[in-house]
Every structure is written in C-alpha cells, then in structure tokens.
Chains A and B, each alone.
Chain A
Amino acid sequence: MTPLDAKRPLQLNAQGQLQHFLSLDGLPRELLTEILDTADSFLEVGGRAVKKVPLLRGKTICNVFFENSTRTRTTFELAAQRLSADVITLNVSTSSASKGETLLDTLRNLEAMAADMFVVRHGDSGAAHFIAEHVCPQVAIINGGDGRHAHPTQGMLDMLTIRRHKGSFENLSVAIVGDILHSRVARSNMLALKTLGCPDIRVIAPKTLLPIGIEQYGVKVYTDMTEGLKDVDVVIMLRLQRERMSGGLLPSEGEFYRLFGLTTARLAGAKPDAIVMHPGPINRGVEIESAVADGNQSVILNQVTYGIAVRMAVLSMAMSGQTAQRQFEQEKAQ
C-alpha cells in the first residue's frame, strides 16, 4: 500500500506553469499578472469582426455543471469557442447525478470521450481538487466554482476589471460587502487582491455572515457600511441568497438593505471615481439600489465582457501547461 495523501502542488506543472486552475491559493503574483496580461490581449479579439483565434483548435472542452449557472457557463462556452475548441456542456444536476451515478463515474465517462479539459462547477468545497487528484491527471481541470471554497476565474475577472479601471493595485482601497461567509467569490477576491499587492482590503458584513478567522486573508473587518466605504476606490457587492433569512443569519431582506444595501447616498462616502462591481445575478433592492447598479460608476456589465477574456486566458494557459507537462514526461521517459 502507498500513502493515499501524497502531497503535490496540483495546479502547476514541473516548470511552474498552470496545468489546472483550482484556486488562487499558492499562485504567485507573476502568474496572476500573466493571466491578466493574456486576458488583456484577448479583449481585442472580442472587438474584431471575426472573434476567433485558433489556439485550441482540435481540443475538446467539457463544461460539467453540477450546479446551476448562466453567466459562468455561457462565458466559458464563448471563451472556448473563441479559442476554436469543441465544446460540450452538461448540466449534471439534471442528468447522471439524479440517476445515482457517482461524480467519479460521470467524469470517467467524459474522460473516455477523450476530453482535453473539464470546466467543473460543483456544490461541494474541494470538488475541483478531488477531480484533479483522483479522476483524470491528463485532463486540465478548471474550477468554475466549488462550494464556498473558490471561484478563481471570477476572482481573476474581478482583478482584470479593477486593473482596467484603476490601472494597478498598489494604492487601492477595496471593500467587499455582504455575505462573505457563503461566498467563494469573496474568498477568491481576497486572495487575489492580497497577492497582487492591494494594501487596503476591507470586508463589510454582520458577524453572522463573516467566517471565523477572516483576518488570515489580511483584511480589515467593518460592521458599519458608512465607515467601511469611506474613501474606497472599489466596491464589490455580493449576492445575498434568499435562504439566508432562515436559520437566524438575518432578520429580513429589508433590514439587510437598511444596513448593508449599496445606495447612492452610501456610495457618496466612497471616492468620487469609485467603481461598483457585482458578480451577478444582482438582487435589486436587496443588496444594491437600481440607481447604483445602472449608474455611471457601475462596471457590472463590463465584468461579464472581461469574464470571457479571462476565461480564454485561463483555458489557453492551462492547456499549454498540460501539453508542456506531457512533453516533459515523455522526454523524461526516453
């Protein structure tokens, strides 16, 4: 018997290039910057009449979504198509899983169809790690969101949004507002901002929506919206799920909006050129006022556009990391 828990850096190949994209934890600043630079170059592709580049021609990408998604799924599909890959999308929540097939079996079946890359969204934290570790070492795994743990492409598209509007991260104050506890977006954003050198990361939420030990992310905790938003450059609002009202986390949507909703008046406390972000889908009147969501400081729709470019960057980089790793292994074998 061999140890079942042999530790290895899963995401990076022997040369330190991306071969899976599971989480932003442990990825160096240079790599995150490379993703942003690559995404920047792909943004031009989106502006052309012919929106395709042939980088992933002949490759097959499976989007496997165990949880519902519109935005993430569609932008991953578009990203893959613009890279000239063949794409299939499976909503597993409505097919195999309901027939009792295990996650492992579902993915092995897809692997047998000679897929080169899986984009996976799953409700369990750590699902993408599990898949990368146990299912298919030859196939690049891209995390499209796992439980409360990570949503690294969302994290990177948020970083691209900030960089394109603010130039850099070195002198910024960024506030993340709302349900931090249940949010994989918040976790990925905090990690990315820290790695990229943002000096002032704030989280604003009531104690019931803050995870224990949040200080480990190097953030400052505020429970008062006015105080937390003072002079910030970027406001990232999080979606508040309806089910949070049960179980005593919050009394009502109304009270949450009263305390933590982003209104024009509250936004006035931020820097005059502050931008407002939201991973979507937004709840108007619950976490954000319509006038703010649709206002000139809002970059919520830009985020969606940038999301395609970031996903193109991640898909192409992970695929080339996999190819390099296969070559490296072949050379070593010879």
Chain B
Amino acid sequence: MKLSILGARVIDPASGLDQVTDLHLEAGKLIAIGAAPAGFSASETIDAKGLVAAPGLVDLNVALREPGYSRKGNITSETRAAAAGGVTSLCCPPHTKPVLDTSAVTELILDRAREAGNCKVFPIGALSKGLEGEQLAELIALRDAGCVAFGNGLESFRSTRTLCRALEYAATFDLTVIFHSQDRDLAEGGLAHEGAVASFLGLPGIPETAETVALARDLLLVEQSGVRAHFSQLTSARGVALIAQAQARGLPVTADVALYQLILTDEALIDFSSLYHVQPPLRTRADRDGLRAAVKSGVVSAISSHHQPHERDAKLAPFGATEPGISSVELLLPLAMTLVEDGLLDLPTLLARLSGGPAEALRLPAGKLAVGSAADLVLFDPASSTIAGEHWLSKGENCPFIGHSLPATVRYTLVDGRISYQA
C-alpha cells in the first residue's frame, strides 16, 4: 500500500525537523518527506491539515497482564488501548504469571502481540528467576527470544552481592538492566509518601530515602560493573538529582518517570481514593517540580505511562487493601499534552521524551521519522480535546483522569504504515 499524509506539521525531535510538509509511505516504510519520489502514486491519502505528525510514541512500561491476569487485561485489549494513546512501541514488564523469565513466555507474548497487531511489543525479561532476587534468569536465552532489557521491578535482590554479580553478568553481554530503585526495608508496609498527608490520614509511609538510598547504591554498582542501566519510575527530586550527578560524572545512565507523577501529588490521597494508590507513591509538590525540571533538562529522557490496569474489585476496598496502579496508556498523548498546555515543556521536547528518548534508552528501533525506517507514526489534532473515558478500551477502568477534558486528540496511529487506530 502506498500512503501519502498531506499537509501535517511534521515534528521529528531526533532530527530537529518541524515544518508543514508531506509524508509518503510504502511497504511499511517512510520513503520520503516533502515531495513524493518520482513515479510514486499514492493509493490512499490522509488530509492532515491542522494535524501534527510525529514519531509513534514509545512507552517503556505497559503492563499487558497476559499471561496470568486476564481479569485485569490482556495483550489485545491493552495494546489497543496503547494505540489509542498514540503508542506504536511499548515495553511490557516481567510481572506476569508465570513470570517472564523463560523464552516460552517471551514467545507467547510476542506471538499474541503480533496477532493483535496494534503495537510493537518489546518484552522486559526478569533479571532473576521468578523475580525472587536470588538466582539469575537465563538472560541470553531471553535476549535471543526477544527481551530487550532486564529488570526485577520493585522486588529487590535479597543480597547486594547477588545483584552485583547479576550486573556483571549482564555487562558481559552488553545487556541493559532496568532499575526500580526502592529500598525494601525502608518501604516495607508503606502505602503513601511519608509526609504530612500520610501522617494526617494515618497511612503508613514510604520515605523519600526508600528511593534515594537504593538509588545511590545502585548507581555505584552500575559504575563498578559497567552495565548499561536505565532507572525507571523515579519519584523524588533528590532521586533525579542523584541521576543528574551520575550523568555529570560521565556515567551513561538514563531515566524515566511515570506521566502521572508529573501531574499528581500526594495531596490527591486526601479522601482515601484508591485510584491514587500507586507504587512507588505519589510524592510532594516539590518532588513533582523536581521531576518536571529533570524532564525539561533531559536528565530524565523518557516519560512512560506505567500503565497498570486492574479489575474493578482490585480498587474496591479500604485504601490499604487495594492494589496499586493507574490505567492510563490510552491517554498517554492527551495527558502528556497537559504539560505543554501548562507551559512546562514545548511540543518538540515533549515528543522527544515520548519517542526518541525512551527508544534510545533501551536501544529500540523506534522513535524517529527517518526516510527508510519503519513508518510508525502518530497524527494528532493539537487544537481539539479528548474527554477522557468517553471511549475506553483498556480492561482497567482504574484511571483518576476519567471525566477530565484533556488537550489534543489522537486521529491516527500507524504501525509499519498500517493504521492501528483511527478516531
């Protein structure tokens, strides 16, 4: 199929391109920007006047819940939701049942994702067997099956020595390790950021030091082992300051934040609404400001949804008995556009953090509009708005943004030149 997208404002943060022009697609690839190549005649065109065309969004953390948690979501439902949010590539975390620590589970996920055809899926393998933090998973078998990086989630290693060896082993083969730095002991039993709000509500706290103590240790271990490292889901201003320091002394580490951490603070908990129960927790305004500044400066190069769909019952209990997580991948673009609307980021920078930044962090073949590369695109109307929840594709309705009017509307998402979502 030959497709021409006419008259869009084409923004490619990777190359600095930002102009109104045409895009021409053939056989799943972007073959020209601007004038059509000689002899090209489009079988289909999209009139994209007034729309922005950008690299398809790359989300580093979307829980697909399959295999094992089909009551919460499945690969088809959650990748459809992602496509609606403008996502063309996503990474899924290893927290499945069975855990994503074998090539069989990896292949199952990749097969189902291909069948669904909504998004390119890049699995994150478990760093340790069963995520138990004791024995290394077969990292090379997992890599060969398609895992692009390895992590252990918030389940930390019991022994620092074992973690250290895991990093050295990963470094041997130039594998990327993803850290969710949180000290298990300091976070134990905690439900909310340890601060005035949690104290008032009588909720057990998770101190900022749960993140910073673990982060400082992990950064030193990364430096010693020389492993490629990505730090995921940072929540505190001091945490991103530690990343900035490490980068300043030449350590090639990258980092992401959850989009909702750039919008919400722990003040949202004041009525005990379980929709705001997330792990790691929402922190203070000062932390949110610190995260926003780090995203702007590029210390944090990726914004991800950290999508965690749940069945209704998982959130229908007193706060402490509910499961943590927010379902929001299908709002990724419009929700992120609130950062532009509020003057915190300019549009090209935002798009960089949602595409090129995350793709580079995990070396994914995505995130830029280059002639000859896969035609993974999002076309959105920046002047329109989205009523969150008007249509809902994810199985998880656990989203505190439902009902809000958000800036911009995704019109088309294209994966390999094929329309995977159309509003």
Contact = CB atoms under 8 A, between A and B. Distances in A.
Interface in A96-130: 102-104, 122, 124-127, 129-130
B196 A126 contact: no
Contacts of B313: 102
Contacts of A211: 198-199
B271 A5 contact: yes
B202 A104 contact: no
Contacts of A216: 196, 199-200
B397 A1 contact: yes
Interface in A162-184: 184
Contacts of B196: 212-213, 216
Contact of B202 (A102, A125, A134, A212): A125
A274 to B, nearest CB: 28
B316 A104 contact: yes
B320 interface: yes
Interface string A208-222: 000111101000000
Nearest to A127: B318
A103 B321 contact: yes
B389 interface: yes
A122 B317 CA distance: 12
B173 interface: no
Contact of B320 (A4, A104, A126, A150): A126
B392 A1 contact: yes
Interface residues of B, number: 34
Nearest to B389: A1
Contact of A149 (B194, B202, B404): B202
Contacts of B318: 103, 122, 124-127, 130, 146
A130 B317 contact: yes
Contacts of A184: 202
B358 interface: no
A3 B319 contact: no
Nearest to B404: A3
B34 interface: no
B203 interface: yes
A2 interface: yes
A7 interface: yes
A7 B197 CA distance: 17
Contacts of B171: none
Contacts of B400: 3-5
Contacts of B247: none
A1 B402 contact: yes
Interface in A289-331: none
Given A3-B403, A212-B195, A147 B397 contact: no
A124 B271 contact: no
B199 A214 contact: yes
A125 B317 CA distance: 11
A187 B272 CA distance: 16
B202 A187 contact: yes
B319 A125 contact: yes
A148 interface: yes
B201 A125 contact: yes
Interface residues of A, number: 30
Contacts of A125: 201-203, 272, 318-320
Nearest to A128: B318
B201 A126 contact: yes
B199 A4 contact: no
Contacts of A147: 202-203, 320
A105 to B, nearest CB: 10
A214 B404 CA distance: 34
Contacts of B316: 102, 104, 134
What is the predominant secondary structure among interface residues of chain A facing chain B? loop
A296 B404 CA distance: 60
Contact of B271 (A103, A127, A129): A129
Given A4-B402, A125-B318, A148 B272 contact: no
A250 to B, nearest CB: 18
B335 to A, nearest CB: 15
Contacts of A104: 316-317
A124 B389 CA distance: 30
A51 to B, nearest CB: 35
Nearest to A215: B196
A2 B204 CA distance: 30
Contacts of A1: 389, 392, 397, 402-403
Interface string B92-135: 00000000000000000000000000000000000000000000
Contacts of A25: 200
Interface string B190-218: 00001111111111110000000000000
Interface string A1-29: 11111010000000000000000010000
A258 B295 CA distance: 51
A122 B319 CA distance: 12
A148 B274 CA distance: 17
A179 B321 CA distance: 24
B397 to A, nearest CB: 6
B62 interface: no
B273 interface: yes
Contact of B201 (A3, A4, A149): A149
A254 B338 CA distance: 56
A130 B202 contact: no
Contacts of A3: 389, 400, 402-404
Contacts of A127: 318
A209 B317 CA distance: 28
Contacts of A122: 318
B199 A212 contact: yes
B397 A124 contact: no
B319 A130 contact: yes
Interface in B249-299: 271-276
A149 to B, nearest CB: 3
Interface in B365-422: 389, 392, 397-398, 400, 402-404
Contacts of A5: 271, 273, 275-276, 400
Given A103-B317, A212-B194, A126 B199 contact: no
Contact of B275 (A4, A102, A134, A214): A4
Which of A103, A150, A213 is most buried by chain B, counting CB atoms within 10 A of its CB?
A: A213
A308 B293 CA distance: 55
Given A125-B318, A126-B318, A130-B272, A148 B202 contact: yes
B199 A213 contact: yes
Contact of A124 (B199, B275, B319): B319
9 contacts: A1-B402, A124-B319, A124-B321, A125-B203, A130-B318, A134-B316, A146-B202, A149-B202, A216-B196
Pairs A-B, 5 closest by C-beta atoms:
A213-B196, A148-B202, A149-B202, A126-B272, A3-B403
Given A3-B402, A134-B316, A211-B199, 9 more contacts: A25-B200, A102-B313, A122-B318, A124-B321, A125-B272, A127-B318, A129-B272, A150-B202, A214-B199
